[in-house]
Structure 1
């Protein structure tokens, strides 16, 4: 499945001599602005940590990683083939053949340990704030007080506070279904929840956070 317009992409800038060092290569984020028959037009790649834009060069090799809404990780190799000046400056990269895109055979949402603020609503009246224990592209786990009426299959309306390495903060809104509830302390519950209804744009916010957090873990 080739990426579409507005798809978030994570880009590694690799040179042939550094193929073996892919894990340590610089990683940038971009988004597809337009698609032609043989290329993708993407926004200028940006390093979220420094806030600096990457100055792409003609013929520069890229390794692209992206995730479908179903959570399947895809990757392909490409190169810069041109530049366009539209409303904003765009980088043109070669579109791969479908057979040149590798995909994992199973759903592979990134899941990372993270304590993020989660606003939860049960029905129309009950509201509380909890902290997540881990976050992934397919759902979250959190702890809350035992007094809240949460059991498996409970539907929760949630707003997740999502911080990025750049210092910016956003919110991801979704409907979640409780999968498992476990008593962890006399007054607290551990709740595992999967996304039941979430837009692709909101899900990409969570995936982007997880990808950045994974890069930070690798550098520690």
Structure 2
């Protein structure tokens, strides 16, 4: 059962920042299209703070039907529309993608991709990603190249596709969390802070291809 126009959606946003990931926002469906919902800009629960969303950002959503049952689905931002108020276009899930069980599996996929990094002092290094999604990625720290939380990085990611094409994706990222692994290595979680829509779309395309590979194995 799809949510209807004027129905309230409760939203969480995929983020490597755990504090941000647990925040809940509320929005309303303004219009329904064949493959999209148009929703109002979300507002944080318990406050009047609006949440700016970005193209490709991944969302976990639930809505409550008249019988009091929560229905969950995962989606992502596909665009924006300027009406009387600004509206956010999100992908409309397929019927079998709506569940009564919460599933926080966003379009974040495991992938070991090469990432070139440059920090403020122009020091450069190459790291390997552990996972990647439309909102950020995680990389393994290198012994000779230490990162700290809050640090801004200029990055260039090498993205291979199934047709053997290779894209270079440029963006600015922020280190939001560093986790010490049992192996002694560090896992550094980054979020995109400056990335163009076209560059983000290249990453989302890669994630869809990787998920399709998982499903066909």
Partner of 2:150: 153
Structure 2, unaligned runs of 5 or more: 1-33, 38-53, 60-74, 78-87, 99-103
Instruction: Tell me, yes or no, if structure 1 residue 213 matches structure 2 residue 213.
Output: no
Bigger Rg over Cα? 1
CA distance in structure 1 between the partners assigned to 2:205 and 2:35 by the alignment: 14
Q: Give SS of 2:58's match.
A: coil
Structure 1, unaligned runs of 5 or more: 1-62, 76-97
1:207 offset after TM fit, Å?
A: 0.3
1:122 offset after TM fit, Å?
A: 0.7
Partner of 1:131: 128
Partner of 1:118: 115
CA distance in structure 1 between the partners assigned to 2:180 and 2:139 by the alignment: 12
CA distance in structure 1 between the partners assigned to 2:56 and 2:120 by the alignment: 26
CA distance in structure 2 between the partners assigned to 1:142 and 1:195 by the alignment: 13
Partner of 1:102: 92
CA distance in structure 2 between the partners assigned to 1:69 and 1:109 by the alignment: 11
8 A contact 1:109–1:137 mirrored in 2: no
CA distance in structure 1 between the partners assigned to 2:123 and 2:111 by the alignment: 25
Match of 2:56 among 50, 69, 75: 69
- Across the two proteins, how many residue pairs are aligned to each other? 135
8 A contact 2:56–2:204 mirrored in 1: no
Match of 1:169 among 166, 171, 189: 166
> TM-score scaled to structure 1, two decimals?
0.53
Instruction: Tell me, yes or no, if structure 1 residue 141 matches structure 2 residue 144.
Output: no
CA distance in structure 2 between the partners assigned to 1:115 and 1:208 by the alignment: 16
> TM-score scaled to structure 2, two decimals?
0.54
Match runs of 1:163-202 below 5 Å: 163-184=160-181, 188-202=185-199
- Give RMSD over aligned pairs: 3.4
